Structure 1
Amino acid sequence: MAFYQALPWHAGEDKIHELTRVPPSDNPTHPMLPQYAAKRISVSPTIALGTTDDQDRVWCTLWGGDLPIAQQVAPGGVIGIRTQVDASFDPVVQALYGGKDDGEVVRRDPKNGKMVSGLSIKLEDRDRIKLFGRMMAGSLSTDEAVSEVSERASTEGKGQASKTGNAQLVVQITQSLGNCPKYLNKKTIKSYPSAKPRLVSESTLLTEEAFSHVHNADMFFLASRGPEDMDCNHRGGPPGFIRVQQPTDSTQPQSSVLVWPEYSGNNLYQTLGNIMHDPKIGIVIPDYTAGNVLYVSGHAEVLLDQAASSVIQKSKLAVRFTISSARFVHDGLTFRGEPCTDNKDVSSSHPVTTRSITDGQSPYNPRVRYLTSELPFTTNKTDSISTLPPDEYRPSNSADLTATLTKKTPITPTITKYRFTLSSTNPHSFDPQMSPLWQPGQYIALDFSDELYMGYTHMNDSDPTSLNDDFIRTFTVASIYKPGAEVEFEIIVRNVGVVTKWLSYQNDRSGMTTIEVRGFGGDFRFARAAALDEPEQSEDQTKKNVFIAAGVGITPLLGQIRDEEGAGDGLIVLWTVNIKDIGLAVDVLKSAQEGMKKNLRLFVTGIGNEAGDSKNMKMLAELEQEDSHAEDGLRMERRRLTKDDLTALEEDGKIKIENWCLCTAPAMRKQVQEWLDGKPVIFENFDY
């Protein structure tokens, strides 16, 4: 049995632990290569490597291909790595072999050899081992002739000609650590020996193609330095989780900036601790499918709390990285990776067959968090218009707002109307002379974290997304702003998750449910046909906006049609409601203005699955009976909305459609947009 003394934390790690309020703990890093780790790296088809070059820049790369890439070759943690590499543009290859590519063995002093950090990774199993050691020896043998394809690319100006080569590397490992599988997106790795790398850009200001390359990535690897060692680790998430800031001041150095949120990890913060010690890091961003790869080196900065949330939404911890050197290489990977789903990865040593198909995306991935600079606060009319994502918000202009639940009205078994009273320690928050707290159609951001956050958890397979849940939710305000001693607002909520489920359990009589208000946001105005510029109407046509809603998607409309008398006259509403939600239609129509009712067409679906004498069917029958007695009331259809319904409006010679507005689930929105065949659409974005 082997015993060892835990490695100490260095000053940078102690600092980040203090800032993030991590309780004291031993460093779990092994000062050796245990046998279990040696076994795991021998079955991993990829390995990320980090080192420094002769200009003291930190670089990172990713090698991969046929097994074994790496394996223990001698006692004492000595591993050998052997694979095909890009011999011309891979900065780690150049740093390790010093430009020698003729097969000559490069020898290093094991005690003072070049530092090498590594991350051996098997994406099919979401398995990874962190490594650190020093280079003992290595050799690089390149192809004798430049390939015809590469030479032609150089001649045509598509990139510099290059070579691939067979790399061998011997490293004595002195540190290792097994890591958790969070944020690893599964892929099957296969060798791609016909790779022909081409350097297409060395600009620190990312080209449009490199920009897209970053935003399409679902994984990258980064190398960082401590006082006496190096670290190599990965960051993963949904495609787009890395955001790019392009410089706006042409008088300053033109370098792109990468920003990413730091998701909940193992609470060790070794990478961030290294950045606190030395901001120089290297990053490699691979495109597993096309084989393109972006290498960048530069300086990183750790952002905490307000410094993080002011740069990237819904984040209390993030990293901002400024590029000082870059290489964007086409076809630079000598392997390829294809996504493999959780129930189809039969090649995995631990196949999972009980999970739904995920295209290999980690169940721990949260939604993409956007830069604050990327999120407009108004809606502009373009071919495809989206307001802010529903969980993004603009901070309130009134300090210390809280909302207390005062009334809860169940509408259907899954939909509830809530009324809240706002309170504030700022005596001017509700001053009638001040601008309204919200405008009709806006949403309110409520922070439920005090009630629902249960503290740090490393893993939670039963609810993986909860690890990065800040418990901030946004709801469209269904009422208009009325200044006074007490300001109230209403929201209509469907019970769809942990927050809304908790809210449904609260007692409105106790007055004890008080939630922090983060602010109001959004700009989704559409109630009048003349809502934008008040255009004049022609004598033979009436200008209309068409609003297409599904279920609770009617909510953004409610505050706007109550905003002023006659606001619904210039509006045509096509509203689809499942029979199980017919109670919502009944509730909305109770208070609807006549101008809305006469311009509303209600489509009721799911009737075939409902018993004829059920409560829902009786409510539907009552609505239809009321409709039949009205001279100019709403029209009801026991069917789905179709393309013909939209075509009929366009062909109606008595109206001119100014805007098409949507508030539906993504699948229905996509269908309606296809029906409209490229016409400008304003929609509320609920892609979550």
Structure 2
Amino acid sequence: MAFYQAMPWHEGEEKIHKLTRLPSADNPTHPMLPPMLAARISRSPTIALGTINNEGRVWCTVWGGDVPIAQQVARGGVLGIRTQVDASFDPVVQALYGGRTDGEVVQNDPKAGRMVSGLSIHLEERDRVKLFGRMLAGSLSVEGAGNADANASSEGEESQEGVNGTRGTTGNAQLVLHITQSLGNCPKYLNKKHITSYATAKPRLLSDSPILSAEAISHIQSADTIFIASAGPEDMDCNIRGGPPGFIRIIQQETQTQSVLIWPEYSGNNLYQTLGNLTLDARAGIVVPNFQTGTILYLSGTTEVLIDESAASVISKTRLAVRFTVTAARFVADGLCFRGTLSTSNKDVSSSNPAVSKNTADGMSPYNPRVRYLISELDEQTQKDNLTSSLPPNEYRNNTSKNNDTERTAALVKKTKLTPTITKYRFRLASDSGTSTTPLWQPGQYVILDFSEELYMGYSHMRDDDPTSLNDDFIRTFTVASSYVAGRNEIEFEIIVRNVGSVTRWLSWQNDRGMLSVGVKGFAGTFRFEDLKVRGADRVNVFVAAGVGITPLLGQVRKDEEEEAGRLIVLWTLHVRDIGLVAEVLKVVSGAVRMQLFITGTSDIAETSTEVQLLAEIESKLSEGRVTIQRRRMGEGDLIGVEAKFGVKVANWYLCTTPAMRKQVQEWLPGKVVDFENFDY
């Protein structure tokens, strides 16, 4: 049995631990390669490697193929790697073998060999082992190649202009490393992939410009996995970053002088070895593979670690992120000598949490948070179409009224269940909230509620029962479904919520005795229907809503102004199981708007069901002409036929639906500006 003293943290790791307020703990890294980790490595079909070339650039690559790609070949942590690689454009291959492709052995000083970091990874089993060591020897053999193969650049040599489409070759690589550090890492953000060898790869250099092309940007945006190599004071690190496609952001400067990548650092094992390196040495290498097509993007550059507000300002709802500025790149088609497809063989679908089964059905990690965008990240046309949309939570501080400078609290005082999954909640603001003469919110705005005090349970490495909770700030936005009433000592607001996630599910369990108090971070958003008094009498606004998307209407109805009644036409679609919401809404808007209701799902349930009976009761009580109900789906003709049906001209289109339906409606209304409530961030 071997015993060893825990390795010390270096200065950069200690600094990032302090910045992230991490309590002190021992470094779990092994100063050797234990047999248990060696056995895990021998079962893995892929390995990512990082090194520093003679120009001082940090590069990263990923190799893969038939098992074993790597295995211990001698005592004392001697690891052998053997696989097929891109011999022409892989920058790590060029750094390790110095351009030799004739199979001759390249030897290093055992004590001062080239530093190499590694990550042995079995994506299908969600298993990984981090490695660091020094190169002892290696060889690269390309069939028919001499010492100066025309397609293989030598160590440190950058490709020349005009190489777009240059053909390369593959070769058989052997590499021997002396491993002096190892660590078995957690599987949290590994997206499962089944790896197979691809012996017929024919690498082709698409670009070597550090300014990323549109094709390279699209390649990054579709990636769910990247590997990153970084340099410490006396060693190197190689690790993986995974997430849903789109988790990496690209900032391409208008001047086209540099390309910048930003990615969030999700809640991990709290070691921060990569970030510790980057706080001391900003250099890093990234490789972005497309496992299905074999296209691969190699990037080298400099980094900046973003913490708290600096992180939240670029990626919504994140406390930690990395900004990477590209200084060198290689974009290679068919550069992987292996292929990977998303695996649907899951070992974690037995969890009682329905989110786990749902998120792992396609092999994606259940811990992946969804991508949340800032308004500034939306494309130009979306911004134009969304001039009245709401603002992301992390921007509310600069976009709310002066009354929102101090966070308030609100107590739940009434709870009304409208359907099995939809509930109306009334909250009462703390007593000092009504002291201002300025309304706390305007019609159409949303409230930002902070549930973290109730739901955050502190740091946890893994939560198989509720994976997505580890990256949840428990801040939610809900459209205010009531008008502000001035002059009251007790200020109350209502929200109508569907039970769709951890926070709303927890909220549905609470009682309304005034015991629950949540933080109110403010009110924001400008989704408001235009006042049409100055327009012609035949001008109307049209609001298209789906399900609980009707809530922006409830705070804006104007039943007190008879001349304005009917200046808003509402097209609302929802499933019959939500018919209880219809009864609630009609209490508020009856007589104030003209509404067409489209009820779906009636053919799937019996006429004697509670839902269909309630629907029939509502239909029997409708006043003539103001509200009509049709038992079918809303269609394109319902929208484009509004003007003819009602004898009016549409001044503005408004929309609050799911993103899928939003896209459909926009296709039905080509050339029309559609203002929508946006929750894509």
| TM-score category of the 2 structures, normalised to the smaller one | 0.7 to 0.9
Distance in 1 (alpha carbons) for counterparts of 2:51 and 2:473: 36
Distance in 1 (alpha carbons) for counterparts of 2:381 and 2:492: 24
**Match of 2:124, SS?**
coil
Distance in 2 (alpha carbons) for counterparts of 1:663 and 1:372: 17
1:267 has 2:260 as partner: no
* Amino acid of the structure 2 residue aligned with 1:592: V
Tell me the residue number matched to 2:34: 34
Tell me the residue number matched to 2:156: none
Distance 1:359 1:618, change over 3 A: closer
Distance in 2 (alpha carbons) for counterparts of 1:644 and 1:440: 30
Tell me the residue number matched to 2:507: 503
1:623 has 2:614 as partner: no
**Match of 1:394, SS?**
helix
Distance 1:486 1:134, change over 3 A: same
Distance 1:343 1:426, change over 3 A: closer
* Amino acid of the structure 1 residue aligned with 2:210: T
Matches within 5 A, 1:639-678: 639-646=632-639, 648-649=641-642, 652=645, 654-666=647-659, 668-669=661-662, 672=665
Distance 1:25 1:406, change over 3 A: closer
Distance in 2 (alpha carbons) for counterparts of 1:518 and 1:577: 31
Are the equivalent residues in 2 in contact too, given 1:215–1:240 (CA < 8 A)?
yes
Are the equivalent residues in 2 in contact too, given 1:58–1:281 (CA < 8 A)?
yes
* Amino acid of the structure 1 residue aligned with 2:204: R
Tell me the residue number matched to 1:592: 589
1:569 has 2:566 as partner: yes
Q: How far 1:273 moved relative to its partner?
A: 1.2
Distance 1:497 1:612, change over 3 A: same
Tell me the residue number matched to 2:496: 492
Tell me the residue number matched to 1:412: 419
Matches within 5 A, 1:393-432: 394-395=396-397, 396-397=400-401, 398-410=404-416, 411-423=418-430, 430-432=436-438
TM-score (norm 2): 0.87
Distance in 2 (alpha carbons) for counterparts of 1:389 and 1:271: 33
* Aligned partner of 2:626 among 608, 626, 633: 633
Q: How far 1:489 moved relative to its partner?
A: 2.6
Tell me the residue number matched to 1:443: 446
**Which is further off, 71-80 or 390-399?**
390-399
**Which is further off, 213-222 or 580-589?**
580-589
Q: How far 1:183 moved relative to its partner?
A: 1.0
* Aligned partner of 1:312 among 309, 315, 320: 315
Gaps of 5+ in 1: 149-153, 346-352
Distance in 2 (alpha carbons) for counterparts of 1:38 and 1:181: 17
Q: How far 1:393 moved relative to its partner?
A: 5.2
Gaps of 5+ in 2: 152-159, 349-355
Are the equivalent residues in 1 in contact too, given 2:298–2:331 (CA < 8 A)?
yes
Distance in 2 (alpha carbons) for counterparts of 1:306 and 1:245: 19
**Match of 1:591, SS?**
helix
Distance in 1 (alpha carbons) for counterparts of 2:428 and 2:379: 29
Q: How far 1:111 moved relative to its partner?
A: 1.1
Q: How far 1:406 moved relative to its partner?
A: 5.0
**Which is further off, 299-308 or 494-503?**
494-503
Are the equivalent residues in 2 in contact too, given 1:58–1:280 (CA < 8 A)?
yes
1:463 has 2:466 as partner: yes
1:172 has 2:178 as partner: yes
Distance in 1 (alpha carbons) for counterparts of 2:185 and 2:559: 55
Are the equivalent residues in 2 in contact too, given 1:158–1:200 (CA < 8 A)?
yes
Q: How far 1:308 moved relative to its partner?
A: 1.3
Tell me the residue number matched to 1:560: 556
Tell me the residue number matched to 1:139: 139
Are the equivalent residues in 1 in contact too, given 2:596–2:629 (CA < 8 A)?
yes
Tell me the residue number matched to 2:197: 191
**Which is further off, 274-283 or 402-411?**
402-411
Matches within 5 A, 1:186-225: 186-225=192-231
CA deviation vs aligned residue, 1:12-48 (integer Å, no higher than 9, x gap): 1112122222222221111111222222222211110
**Match of 1:632, SS?**
coil
* Amino acid of the structure 2 residue aligned with 1:500: T
Distance 1:39 1:367, change over 3 A: same
**Which is further off, 556-565 or 607-616?**
607-616
Distance in 2 (alpha carbons) for counterparts of 1:475 and 1:144: 66
Are the equivalent residues in 2 in contact too, given 1:376–1:387 (CA < 8 A)?
no
TM-score (norm 1): 0.87
CA deviation vs aligned residue, 1:326-360 (integer Å, no higher than 9, x gap): 22222222222111213599xxxxxxx98776322
Tell me the residue number matched to 1:546: 542
Distance in 1 (alpha carbons) for counterparts of 2:64 and 2:330: 19
Equivalenced residue count is 658
Please give the root-mean-square deviation of Cα atoms over the aligned residues, in Å: 3.4
CA deviation vs aligned residue, 1:183-226 (integer Å, no higher than 9, x gap): 11111222223322222323322222211111111110001112
Are the equivalent residues in 1 in contact too, given 2:558–2:592 (CA < 8 A)?
no
Distance 1:355 1:616, change over 3 A: closer
Q: How far 1:648 moved relative to its partner?
A: 4.3
1:605 has 2:588 as partner: no
Distance 1:181 1:579, change over 3 A: same
Distance in 2 (alpha carbons) for counterparts of 1:136 and 1:476: 63
Are the equivalent residues in 2 in contact too, given 1:313–1:371 (CA < 8 A)?
yes
Distance in 2 (alpha carbons) for counterparts of 1:209 and 1:646: 37
**Which is further off, 648-657 or 453-462?**
648-657
CA deviation vs aligned residue, 1:63-95 (integer Å, no higher than 9, x gap): 112222111111111111111212222111111
Distance 1:393 1:456, change over 3 A: same
Distance 1:60 1:390, change over 3 A: same
**Which is further off, 257-266 or 577-586?**
577-586
Distance 1:390 1:237, change over 3 A: same
CA deviation vs aligned residue, 1:89-148 (integer Å, no higher than 9, x gap): 211111111122222211001111011000011111111111111000011122437999
Distance in 1 (alpha carbons) for counterparts of 2:587 and 2:34: 71
Distance 1:388 1:136, change over 3 A: farther
Tell me the residue number matched to 1:160: 166
**Which is further off, 271-280 or 214-223?**
271-280
* Aligned partner of 2:361 among 358, 379, 392: 358
Distance in 1 (alpha carbons) for counterparts of 2:334 and 2:456: 45
Q: How far 1:662 moved relative to its partner?
A: 3.4
Distance 1:322 1:380, change over 3 A: closer
**Which is further off, 154-163 or 43-52?**
154-163
Distance in 2 (alpha carbons) for counterparts of 1:402 and 1:563: 31
* Amino acid of the structure 1 residue aligned with 2:419: T
Distance in 1 (alpha carbons) for counterparts of 2:513 and 2:414: 9
**Match of 2:297, SS?**
strand
Distance in 2 (alpha carbons) for counterparts of 1:65 and 1:307: 40
Q: How far 1:488 moved relative to its partner?
A: 3.5
* Aligned partner of 1:473 among 465, 473, 476: 476
1:113 has 2:113 as partner: yes
Q: How far 1:615 moved relative to its partner?
A: 5.2
1:94 has 2:89 as partner: no
* Amino acid of the structure 2 residue aligned with 1:550: A
CA deviation vs aligned residue, 1:409-467 (integer Å, no higher than 9, x gap): 3133432222334459899x9343xxx65443232221111110001111111211111
* Amino acid of the structure 2 residue aligned with 1:549: A
Q: How far 1:552 moved relative to its partner?
A: 1.0
Distance in 1 (alpha carbons) for counterparts of 2:347 and 2:427: 48
Q: How far 1:557 moved relative to its partner?
A: 2.0
Distance in 2 (alpha carbons) for counterparts of 1:653 and 1:156: 62
Are the equivalent residues in 1 in contact too, given 2:433–2:491 (CA < 8 A)?
no
Q: Equivalent pairs: percent with the same residue?
A: 61
Tell me the residue number matched to 2:13: 13
